[in-house]
Copies of this chain bind each other. A is one copy, B any other.
Amino acid sequence: MLNAKTEKKWDHRAADTAGRMAAAAQFIGAGKQVRAADTVALLEAIIRPGDIVNIEGNNQKQADFLAECLNKVDRAKVHDLHMVQSAVPLPAHLDLFENGIARKLDFAFGGPQAGRVAKFIRGGKLELGAIHTYLELFARYFLDLTPRVSLICAFKADRKGNLYTGFNTEDTPTIVEATKFRQGIVVAQVNEIVDTLPRVDIPADWIDAVIESPRPFFVEPLFTRDPALITNTQILLAMLCLKGIYAEYGVKRINHGIGFLTSAIELLLPTYGEELGLKGKACTHMILNPHPTMIPAIESGWVDTIHCFGGELGMENYVAARPDVFFTGPDGTLRSNRAFAQTAGHYALDMFIGGTLQIDKFGNSSTATASRVAGFGGAPNMGCDAKGRRHVTESWLKCGQEMPTLNQVLGDMPRGKRLVVQGVETFGEGRAPVFVDRLDAWELAKNAKLDLPPVMIYGDDLTHVVTEEGIAYLNRCPDIDSRMAALRAVAGYTELGLAAKPEETKRLREAGIVRTPEDLGVNRNRADRSLLAARSIRDLVTWSGGLYNPPARFRNW
């Protein structure tokens, strides 16, 4: 039965890497340094046609110099690359496909280039692998989508090639580990090469080339919301959330998605939240970027712990001055880490709350439109029931106990469930109805040749929907028909909402499956901007004692 031992080579990858690095050796000096002017030549030496390549870039920091240099390579030498990266928000990311340098894309977040992604798919310029949630894409880096070459960014390198990524550590450790420990090649652009780093975030052993880029890497302040733009309706929704969900379930471990509703909730904590007696009972532990609108709640002593996916421009000094709350290093600055924050977001949170563009009649929701392949970032990872979870918290257990459908799948076995909340106004951006018969995601799937409609949160994961009409407690529904009725009951004057039957809604209210502001004792007349703990970016700066340093575009005073 034993095979004769044949001579087989088992180091193709390592040998191939050695060959590439030999070709690149002429550009790499002491401490792995490469002159910025040699970057294009370096990339031509280390990248081969068809390679799986990662350009670091998420919804925040970007290895933008390396992305631009990759666009300048000789496409006779470098073409048909398979890009695997968290996000493609820069024009340069899509130019690679326009220029024939890249062919296939696996990603998690599109941002401003979402329309181009869809257009390129239709035009045959871009083959879409799949849309992932961040952690899912990271997972595949260690199995079937390992980068051959990764182009990353850091604040500083020392003269040996150690890196300091600090506040914006984000995806870097994950990308580097997957690439370097599969005998791949890692190139870093850094803002500065120095003698001594504040701390080592990535060991020099893991890096092959370091380039001091001509300008600092780009960072987008994606999580900053100006309190001046929060509306009274958003404040009403925030009050409903706090009274009908945060207080009702005593939710301590939370992620807030991006948006004005969650900013409103954050700014109501020190006012309406304290009135409800929630301090110390809700929002004590958060997985969250350093949202500026969290400053009043943090200053008021609401928060025990925040772990961050990434940094947020302008929050550097504030975070460094609050080490009891944030994860900071021996040097005093934040260490963000998207992989670990998403892991905690999946397994350690009791609630995810966010918004969406559309919710269908069954409760499936998506931000996809017919012509934009947007991706969902972290929402699917946090906005789903973590089925592998085994530890119990009060709110998780209560949410599961309320489910009359659980015995249809588990018999008499009890289990909890994460709260997954969508807060939306019934008519959203451009007065488009949020509640729809069928998601635009179906149309996008057709247009972009996707295997499945891209759903952000599936109906069986969604537990609560909050609108200006009230809250639908979907977890309390005994079947899909009552779930559909509960959605109609809070869908307002949308076509779906107009199909609600008053008698049915009355029964749902009596059963506690739907609750209006009046049922909850939330006074609509109090939903007013005077309830916000801060009403402007300037107020946030004041709350922070001058530590928050908002980016120029938010300095409107």
Chain A contacts to B: CB under 8 angstroms: 1-3, 5, 8-14, 106, 129-133, 135-136, 138-140, 142-144, 146, 162, 174, 177-178, 180-183, 199-201, 203-206, 252-253, 270-271, 285, 287, 296, 299-301, 304-305, 307, 321-325, 327-330, 335, 337, 339-341, 343-349, 360-362, 364, 376, 380-392, 397, 408-416, 451-455, 458-461, 479-480, 530, 532-535, 539, 542-543, 545
The residue of chain B having its C-beta at the shortest distance from the C-beta of A454 within the complex is B390
Q: Whole-angstrom distance between the alpha carbons of A482 and B138 in the complex? A: 38
- B12, B362, B388, B392: the one contacting A384 at CB < 8 Å is B388
- Collect the chain B residues with CB atoms within 8 Å of residue A479's CB: 408
Instruction: Assess whether A361 is in contact with B300, with CB atoms less than 8 Å apart.
Output: no
A56 CB, min distance to chain B CBs, angstroms: 17
A161 CB, min distance to chain B CBs, angstroms: 11
Q: Whole-angstrom distance between the alpha carbons of A200 and B177 in the complex? A: 12
Q: Whole-angstrom distance between the alpha carbons of A459 and B493 in the complex? A: 40
Q: Whole-angstrom distance between the alpha carbons of A106 and B393 in the complex? A: 13
Most buried by B among A174, A343, A460: A343
- Collect the chain B residues with CB atoms within 8 Å of residue A305's CB: 143-144, 146
Instruction: Assess whether A539 is in contact with B410, with CB atoms less than 8 Å apart.
Output: no
Instruction: Assess whether A411 is in contact with B182, with CB atoms less than 8 Å apart.
Output: no
A544 CB, min distance to chain B CBs, angstroms: 9
Instruction: Assess whether B411 is in contact with A323, with CB atoms less than 8 Å apart.
Output: no
**A539 touching B362 in the complex, CB below 8 Å, given contacts A135-B388, A142-B348:** no
A36 CB, min distance to chain B CBs, angstroms: 25
- B2, B174, B322, B454: the one contacting A543 at CB < 8 Å is B2
The residue of chain B having its C-beta at the shortest distance from the C-beta of A174 within the complex is B340
Instruction: Assess whether B343 is in contact with A391, with CB atoms less than 8 Å apart.
Output: no
- Collect the chain B residues with CB atoms within 8 Å of residue A454's CB: 390
- Collect the chain B residues with CB atoms within 8 Å of residue A388's CB: 133, 135-136, 346, 380-384
- B344, B364, B385, B539: the one contacting A411 at CB < 8 Å is B364
